[in-house]
Amino acid sequence: MPELPDVEIAKRRLEKALVGATVTGAHSEDKRILHPSAPSVLSRALVGRTVQEVSRRGKWLRVLLDDGGRMFSHLGMTGWWVERGIEHPKERSERARIDVSSTEGRSRSLRYLDSRRFGRLIVAQADIDEWRELGPDPLVDGIGVSHVVAALAKTRRAVKDVIMDQSVLAGIGNILATEGLWHARIDPRSRSDALSRADVGKIARGLGMAIRRELAVRTESRNEDEWHDVFSVYGRAGAPCPRCGSAIAKVIIGGRTTTFCRSCQVRRRSLKRA
DNA sequence: CTCTATGTTTAATT
DNA sequence: GAATTAAACATAGA
């Protein structure tokens, strides 16, 4: 479930359930997800504390507690937070739970589900490196064209590879990068240092479009079963390009499957002249 | 059985 | 050093 729009939905859900509430129970036995903390650390850090704030940067979530402690959550590939009844039985993919009581005394139970267990739950007293080292978040900070131009100019890697670098832009994953570049009409294999400022402007708008579209799908339908993603090119190799009808091509960039349209996405290859 | 997967890290190689 | 590539992680679904 994890890319910026999914994590944003998770953030809103946690915010609604947790802010102002007091933690009555916290539990996880999954050493892999909690690493490097020991399982006991979760309840010791959370129980009795009141939640002050939930925030998101890129694909990371941060829950701030009233004593300055904090819990970071990364959803990995298949992580997801859901709210369940306090008595709801543990299901197979449940890796952690946090129970809270609101000021009106209402009990809520949040469950962290993660079948593949690539996600993380980290308890710390200060911001962790993974959080501090994130680049600007497209929703929180906006996409600064100058910043992206500078980042792209530093390397000759494929542009898609660079915009997925979390220290350049936080939250862009394989889907958003693929879709955003299609909107921008830029070939994902383009050499990053060959792009003009105008190209970067298009990419910024393309990514914004992809993010808004995904967010809308998740906001407008109440339950998750109704989410049906409509991608233009992601996962659609061989299908006709929705814009020009040519067959969607598939290549591997940075180890990730990448789809694009050879006829309407232009490839920048040589260094532009000043 | 095989192949693929929304992410990240680490080791090996060029 | 920079850059690229492959593998690894663990599980589900087609």
Q: What is the pLDDT of residues A97-129, one digit of tens each?
A: 999 998 888 999 999 999 999 999 999 999 999
Spanning CA of A189 to C1' of C9, the rounded length in angstroms is 28
Tell me the residue ranges of DSSP E strands in chain A.
22-28, 51-57, 60-65, 70-74, 79-84, 94-101, 107-114, 120-124, 248-253, 256-261
The CA radius of gyration of chain A, in Å to the nearest whole number, is 20
Q: Give strand letter and number of the nucleotide nearest A157 (CA to C1').
A: C3
| Protein residue minimizing CA–C1' distance to C10 | A116
Q: What is the pLDDT of residue A220?
A: 61
Identity of the amino acid at A68: G
* CA nearest to nucleotide C4 C1': residue: A254
Three-class DSSP category at A263: coil
Strands A70-74 and A60-65: antiparallel
User: What is the tens place of the pLDDT at every residue in A15-46?
Assistant: 999 999 999 999 999 999 999 899 999 999 99
Contact, A242 CB vs strand C, < 7 Å? no
Cα–Cα distance measured from residue A67 to residue A59, given in angstroms and rounded to the nearest whole number: 24
Mean pLDDT of chain A: 94
Average pLDDT over residues A137-157: 96
**Mean of pLDDT values over A210-231:** 77
Residue A81: beta bridge partners? A112
Closest nucleotide (CA of A255 to C1')? C5
Enumerate the active-site residues of A: 2-3, 59, 256
- The helix/strand/coil state of A240 is strand
pTM over 0.85: yes
Closest C1' nucleotide to A164's CA: B7
